[in-house]
Amino acid sequence: MTTTPLTLDEIYALVYAALRNAGSNDVNASAVSRTIRNAERDGSHSHGLFRVAGYVKSLKSGKVDGNADPEIIKVSPSTIRVDAKNAHAPLALERAISALAELAQAQGIAACAIVRSHHFAALWPETEALAENGLVALTGVNYKNWVAPAGGREPIFGTNPLSFAWPRPGKSPLVFDMATSAMALGDIQIAARDGKEVPLGTGLNAEGKPTTDPSQIANGGILLPFGGYKGSAIALMVELMASAMVGEAFSYETALTDNNDGGPPPGGQFLLAISPAILSGNPQWSTHAEQFLAKLENMEGVRLPGARRHQNRLDTGPRDINSELVETVRELAK
């Protein structure tokens, strides 16, 4: 694979131009460009520049409104609903996070339902931002039904990522962010593009047979949940919380209505934010947690989730991006 170096500013500028060309206004294009630049900065390659073509397709097909003005509706003292109004998720999320953080800091716990949003990114930006406000955060989204439940061969779940973040005053938060499928769909597509195999147990081909060929999974096949029935249960939880709980569609329902333009389908997202300072009643809550985390970090062979990304972030230099991908995005940005 040949690569082309791009600075973080160049990444932002290319994405912004591509989205503006496709009809996004400044605020929507800026929010998506920040999300993609930060994904490349942190090494979240499956949700960086790789996604630009899909974002553009969804604007051009009219599925996503690049001029949408997501609205925050306060439902109760600790609940907000965000109507993304068919925007790409980043602008809705930026607005949701500050409103949600304010409620959770006042009430101890707050929840946010996001509807009519098109999520095509990693989830850590939202949990990490809440944790940077001193809050424990949890979020999940569903997608289109790509994943069979444990024991089954028919897809019913999305790849249903789940992200959790824990605040660490003075340090980067502890964050995990993972698809509940054995592999994220973006990674399957990247493996197919790069001609690489995936581990057995990742998915089945169109005949329902286990395969290590990612293109057989991506084209007519299905994914499996991680960790057998245990991962399947977590995928089930995310499916319920990101759809019926927030008033949005299940992944199989979304698949029936999506225009399959290659961009993100419409859907829901839940966000929970909890104040450990209020809930524990212990002014020393973070010192207590840090003692525990220090034990983990000091165990041989162990690293905290999120540490790889935070290490990548320290490098402010150019990123080596797949050259074909750079050309594709440059064309869109012309």
* Sites of contact with ligand NDP (CB under 6 A): 44, 46-47, 119-124, 141, 143, 159, 161, 163, 176-179, 184, 187, 303, 305-309
Residue nearest to ligand NDP (CB): 122
Nearer to ligand NDP, 48 or 276 (CB): 48
Computed from CA positions of residues 210, 216, 221, 226, in that sequence, does the dihedral angle turn out positive or negative? positive
Active site residue 42: no
Among residues 33, 44, 46, 117, the one annotated as catalytic is 46
- Cα–chain-centroid distance for residue 42? 13
CB of 301 to ligand NDP, least distance (A): 9
Nearer to ligand NDP, 47 or 81 (CB): 47
* Whole-number Å distance between alpha carbons of 301 and 99: 39
Residues 6+ positions from 75 with CB-CB distance below 8 Å: 81, 113
Q: What tokens were used for 29?
A: 């294009």
Q: How many of the other CB atoms lie within 10 Å of CB of 60?
A: 15
Nearer to ligand NDP, 18 or 121 (CB): 121
CB of 229 to ligand NDP, least distance (A): 18
Nearer to ligand NDP, 78 or 176 (CB): 176
CB of 264 to ligand NDP, least distance (A): 7
* Whole-number Å distance between alpha carbons of 143 and 268: 9
CB of 309 to ligand NDP, least distance (A): 4
CB of 278 to ligand NDP, least distance (A): 26
Among residues 83, 187, 213, 258, the one annotated as catalytic is 187
Residues 6+ positions from 108 with CB-CB distance below 8 Å: 274, 275, 278, 279
Nearer to ligand NDP, 163 or 232 (CB): 163
Which strands, in side-by-side order, build the sheet including 210-211? 210-211, 203-204, 222-223
* Whole-number Å distance between alpha carbons of 33 and 178: 22
Among residues 47, 88, 118, 119, the one annotated as catalytic is 47
Which active-site residues does the annotation give? 46-47, 187
